[in-house]
Structure 1
Amino acid sequence: MASSALPTPMSILVWNCRGLGNPQSIRIFRKLTKEKCPFLVFLVETKARKQQLEDVRRRLKLDGCFAVDNMDLSGGIAPFWKEDWNVRIINYTRWYISALIKEEENGHIWQFTGFYGHPETAKRSSSWQLLEMLKPHSHGMDVCRRFQQNSAPEGKTRGSQQTIQTNRSFQTSS
């Protein structure tokens, strides 16, 4: 199944773009992909439909894209990738996309899950439960997460006891 060869160094970029509907966001995305040369980009809060993201993929000369549409005026997630990787989407919801990645150069296979936690504090525990369920059984997994909070309490300038507790809940689930 997976090759015994060591994986090649890779670059994965995760960006909360807060919408790709304006030219400035597209310019920033183009600049990031040019400077960082990532093999995979996972965008969160695209606030875009599949066709818009496919247009962005073509304009930026990326080889693959899988989009989960936004809901109303928020959400939307999408990985973009280069042809060096064979990407097969395993499962997705509006909160995550899981894919098996095969590196063409060495045959190395691994699982990627791009994850977007619920923006409402009261509903985040269900996000962490989902993340726990997504742990793979047979492939290594890299999880890219985006939450509307810092994962460490010391990263906050102010915060409630509830925030500290939800941060601990997240850290123990991953």
Structure 2
Amino acid sequence: MRCLAWNCRGLENLHTWRELVEIIQAKDPSVVFLAEMLTDDARLAFVQRSMSFDHRWIVPRVGRGRGLVLYWKATINLKVEGVDRNYIDAVIDKDTENEWRLTGFYGEPEIARHHEAWTILRALNSQSIKPWLCYGHFNEILRQDEKLGGASRPYNQMQQFREVMDECGFMDLGFEGSKYTWSKHFKNGGSI
């Protein structure tokens, strides 16, 4: 099964929608998590139909920001267990020997609120011992070389993220494509 997560920064833009459709066609995921979709339910339904997904779960945007959506195909036995403005938490193959958790996560964009996202991750981690894939956009980096330009990220800020990653037993799965997915406000691509 393939899962895709993307911080799309708005599906109202026709270019973004086309790029999403191209990624879906190329990667053929069974589950797609989108963060910062910045659109309404009618547009999300249109996107769902155009990508041939059978189901969706939405955490509505707040004002002009945020918003999460999880799409999945009917062939996937997925049950949404919990939602918040930062995540959609689901179980795949519930009550079978192959049961596992899938969490689409969007971290706090404001640095002063990162600790809130780390508290949420710790709470999610404590809920279950089943295998867990938590993916999405954490709005933080693990190392300075993950960032190009601008001010250096404070060590303590990255260390807090590394600590929550360790506590939750997360591994960085890496990526394919451009090392830096954003440059001067333009997307360069990249996926895990």
- Normalising to structure 2: TM-score of the pair? 0.77
2:8 matches 1:17: yes
Gaps of 5+ in 2: 166-192
Residue aligning to 1:6: none
What SS class does the counterpart of residue 148 from structure 1 fall into? coil
Q: Which amino acid aligns with 2:101?
A: Q
Paired residue for 1:123? 113
Aligned position for 2:79: 88
Aligned to 2:32: 41
Higher RCO (C-alpha 8 Å, min separation 6)? 1
When structure 1 is superposed on structure 2, of 18-27 and 91-100 the one drifting more is 18-27
Are residues 91 and 153 of structure 1, via their aligned partners in 2, closer, same or farther at CA, if it must alter by over 3 Å?
same
Q: Which residue of 1 aligns with 2:100?
A: 110
Distance 2:39 2:160 in 1: 31
1:28 CA drift (Å): 0.9
Contact 2:91/2:101 (8 A) holds in 1: yes
CA displacement 1:36-91 (0-9 Å, x = unmatched)? 01111110110022332122101221111111111111101111111221111111
Contact 1:49 1:67 in 2 (8 A): no
Deviations for 1:86-122, whole angstroms, at most 9, x for unmatched residues? 111111011111001129xx97221111111111001
Contact 1:89 1:99 in 2 (8 A): yes
C-alpha distance in 1, partners of 2:97/2:37?
31
Q: Does 1:71 align with 2:62?
A: yes
Secondary structure of 1:47's partner?
A: coil
In structure 1, what is the Cα distance between the partners aligned to 2:93 and 2:42? 26
CA change 1:89–1:35 in 2 (3 A) is: same
Query: In the alignment, is the contact (CA less than 8 A) between 2:144 and 2:152 conserved in 1?
Result: no
Report the alpha carbon displacement of residue 165 of structure 1 after superposing the two structures with TM: 1.1
Q: Unaligned stretches of 5+ in structure 1? A: 1-9
State the Cα distance separating 1:160 from its structure 2 match.
Answer: 4.2
Which residue does the alignment assign to 1:31?
22
Distance across 2 between alignment mates of 1:55 and 1:63:
12
Residue from 62, 85, 91 that aligns with 1:100: 91
Secondary structure, aligned partner of 1:134? helix
Q: How does 1:46-65 map to 2 (within 5 A)?
A: 46-65=37-56
- CA distance in 1 between partners of 2:9 and 2:138 (Å): 13
> TM-score, length-normalised on structure 1?
0.85
Which ranges of 4 or more aligned residues in structure 1 deviate by more than 4 Å?
Answer: none
Q: Distance in 1 between matches of 2:145 and 2:15?
A: 32
Kindly provide the CA deviation profile for residues 122-156 of structure 1, in whole angstroms up to 9, marking residues without a partner as x: 11011111111101423211001313332322323
